[in-house]
Structure 1
Amino acid sequence: MTTTTLLFSPVEADLQLLTNNLTELVGARHPILYAAAEHLFRVQGKRVRPAIVLLISRATMSSRREASKGQEEIKSKHRRLAEITEMIHTASLVHDDIVDESEIRRGVPTVHNLFTNRVAVLAGDFLFAQSSWYLANLDNLEVVKLLSEVIMDLAEGEIQQGLHRFDTNLSIEAYLEKSYYKTASLIANSSKAAAIISDVSPEQAQNMYYYGKYLGLAFQIVDDILDFTSATESLGKPACSDLKSGHLTAPTLYAIAEKPGLEKLLERELAQDGDLEEAIQLIKDSNGIARSQELATQHAKMAVKHLDSLPDCDSRISLINLADYVLSRLY
């Protein structure tokens, strides 16, 4: 299986610079918030979102290089956009963990668990505020609009998720809409923003948006499948936590149509002893996971189709392979 280290090799140096910069960007004016942010950035994830921004930055600048026959390096604004993207993502995780009452994230204590809810809320707000300030300083109104929309979408996704707890009438379309708000919007809009900073055509910038949108949806669907098929140790959070919290994802929604007993368990919010275990077994005994795998594959393939306008280069190859990597997490 391809590792993210190999996958992101065209932007390895860029990602190392980003990692070095993140804590410094937050600043040390507020010691407790700084400590919380430092804890978050020290526990590194795969840095998928900033890697996508950097790969698209390099790929779209390659388009310009081919057109001009000159040398085009990525801009400092591309690097700052990647940093802003990771700050927004990290801020959203802090708030999500509070709402979901999660005790661990990436295998370590969450911010609210390590500090307090109050500190975690302020740390998340602080990161959103800092990212907004750096975003404004890019001096590109179109990019500001795109990333501001992401912050609204993150809140909308959280609201929708809260309103539809244990909602057995939730459609797959509504699930995908919520998944767009919570996951794909950031990847889609930051991908388009990277292309805009490269000054490519509006059509190519929109293709990068669709690549990010469909890849983000595939990523979320795969995450939702892994919630049922992976152990807590590999997930870095408790297994089946979404189901326990009443957040019905693709495997559950598909299984409801097959297993009438599952709907009854969910309607009483898994309140009785053994309900959760029985619900998990019903989902695993259904075609819900297999149908969700098909849904993820469909979205990953749609993502790759939108890379056709990019020139052949290492970054484009990595973007294609990233879609395969997202699906390979299932096996």
Structure 2
Amino acid sequence: MRRRTLSALFTTSRSMFSQANSAQFNAKEIVRKDLERVTERIGKELDVCRLPGLKHASQYYFKKQGKLFRPLVALLMARACNKTQLKSNSEVTEEQLTVAMVSEMIHTATLVHDDVIDQAQTRRGQPVSHLVWGTKKSVFSGDYILARSSIALSRIGNPFVVELLAHVLDSLVKGEVMQLGTRETTADRFAHYMEKTFRKTASLLALSCQAVALLAGTSQSVSDLAYQYGRNLGIAFQLVDDMLDFVSTSDILGKPVAADLKLGLATAPVLFASETYPELDSLILRRFSQPNDVEKAWDAVKNSDGLQRTRDLAAQYTSDAVTCAQGLAYSHESALLIALVQEILSRKA
């Protein structure tokens, strides 16, 4: 099937909103009560710990709430699939709510661990967990969040859904290990980067969307659409994030700019720039570890088409995500899944 242009797909989405007279709706408002239930249930899951230090450390990142992007996507997909399957009621089931909750807990646990590995200093405008609680307790708190998310997941009672979200953890760990290495040739390097991006970012969205679709009792074709929507959205999200590392400011982004370069990571803008500036290859292989390597890579990206090509690639994935969402029965929720895609390309932080 010929891919329609992104602008045409967004025009269709806006038309869908107009026809339904639903312009006053927005994604978070539709699932506001569900998101409140997610945060409340996370608090209860972690509050059972009888060790005060571990309990408070595990709750630390949840105290200053993030954007809740992953549960937002899962909840909208759950409602859209419920509407697709039932043709009327779109209310989220307890099992689907658990998937949304688990997605946020897994994501937050990885942030705790990532901040330790990356020796980060701030997260969401506050000192990182390991600076407050110490490295060991911080690592254990991330482990504890994952443990409680697994216990919550087991209550769903659907072995296939449990297995799906277990694969998220498998994928995340493999993605982290892949991030430690690179490849010799440009083509292999980019394929390595894209697989790592799927594993570290997109797999959680893809499998969470597939899980809530299966819990809605949808057909295999619809659950595949849900999976592909999450996959494409997740990859686009990370591509834009990698681009913002070069074009945003630390105040807007909430973390230091050029953070990836300083960690030795060659993301899409750098990999594209290396096609124009082959001298970047040696810097990439040594992970920008020598004096002025970060500055040289920064200048090469700024003077190449790397940022535009990264944005173009993100647009391709968002286009595919829109096509997947349009395969669902029309509802406010399916239209908002499309609107989320537009927000990804225009996000500043």
Report the TM-score, using the length of structure 1 for normalisation: 0.93
Query: What is the alpha-carbon distance in structure 2 between the residues aligned to residue 140 and residue 46 of structure 1?
Result: 28
- Does the CA-based 8 Å contact 1:108-1:236 persist in structure 2? no
Helix, strand or coil: the match of 1:8?
A: helix
- Provide, for residues 194-223 of structure 1, a one-character-per-residue CA deviation record: whole Å limited to 9, x for no partner: 001111111101110000000000000000
**Cα distance in 2, alignment partners of residues 186 and 259 from structure 1:** 34
Q: Does 1:42 align with 2:60?
A: no
2:331 aligned to which of 310, 313, 327: 313
How has the CA–CA distance of structure 1 residues 255 and 330 changed in structure 2, closer, same or farther, with 3 Å as cutoff? farther
Q: CA deviation at 1:74?
A: 1.9
Answer whether contact 2:326 2:334 (CA < 8 A) is retained. Answer: no
Counterpart of 1:14 (choices 26, 29, 34) is: 34
CA contact (8 A) 2:80 2:333 kept: yes
Equivalence for 2:108? 90
Q: Is the 8 A contact 2:236 2:318 kept in 1?
A: yes
Alignment of 1:108-119 (within 5 A): 108-119=126-137
3-state SS, counterpart of residue 270 of structure 1: coil
Pairwise CA distance, 1:34:
1.4
2:138 to 120, 133, 149: 120
Structure 2 gap segments, 5+ residues each: 1-24
Deviations 1:212-238 (A, max 9, x none): 000000000000001111111112111
CA drift at 1:324:
0.5
- What's the CA shift string for 1:54-103, capped at 9, x where partnerless? 1011111112231xxx6453211111111111001111111111111111
Aligned residue type for 1:223: D
How many residue pairs align between the two structures? 323
1:240 equivalent in structure 2: 258
Pick closer, same or farther for the CA change 1:57–1:271 going to 2, 3 Å: closer
Shift in Å, 1:177: 0.4
CA drift at 1:190? 0.3
Is 1:32 aligned to 2:61, yes or no?
no
Rounded Cα–Cα distance in structure 2 between residues aligned with 1:78 and 1:315: 15
Note closer, same or farther for the CA distance 1:269–1:87 as it changes in structure 2 (3 Å cut).
closer
Q: After superposition, where does 1:1-331 map in structure 2 within 5 Å?
A: 6-27=26-47, 28-66=49-87, 71=89, 73-164=91-182, 169=186, 170-329=188-347
The TM-score with structure 2 as length reference comes to 0.88
Distance 1:168 1:33, change over 3 A: farther
Aligned equivalents of 1:110, 1:96: Cα separation in 2: 10
**Alignment deviations for residues 107-155 of structure 1 (CA, whole Å, 9 cap, x no partner):** 2111112211101110111111111111111100110111000001000
Write the distance in 2 (CA, Å) between the matches of 1:183 and 1:102. 19
Q: AA paired with 2:39? A: T
> What amino acid is the match of 1:24?
K
Shift of 1:52: 0.7
Cα contact 1:8–1:318 (8 A) shared by 2: no
CA distance in structure 2 between the aligned counterparts of 1:256 and 1:96, rounded to whole angstroms: 27
Q: Which amino acid aligns with 2:74?
A: V
* Mean CA deviation greater in 240-249 or 169-178: 169-178
Return the alpha-carbon distance in structure 2 between the equivalents of residues 214 and 193 of structure 1. Answer: 16
Counterpart contact for 2:174–2:199, Cα < 8 Å? yes
What does the per-residue CA deviation read over 1:151-200, in whole Å, with 9 as the maximum and x for residues that have no partner? 01000000000123x96745222211000000000000000000011111
Structure 1: give runs of 5+ residues left out of the alignment.
Answer: none
CA distance in 2 between counterparts of 1:309 and 1:288 reads 32
Give the letter for the 1:17 counterpart: R
Matched-pair contact (CA < 8 Å) for 1:270–1:276: yes
**Distance of 1:227 and 1:168 partners within structure 2:** 24
User: Retained in 2: the 8 A contact 1:167–1:248?
Assistant: no
Conserved 8 A contact 1:168-1:267 = no
Asked whether the 8 Å contact 2:120–2:128 carries over to 1, the reply is: yes
Shift of 1:20: 2.2
Distance 1:59 1:250 in 2: 32
Q: Which amino acid aligns with 1:270?
A: F
AA at the equivalent of 2:100? A
Q: Is the 8 A contact 2:261 2:288 kept in 1?
A: no
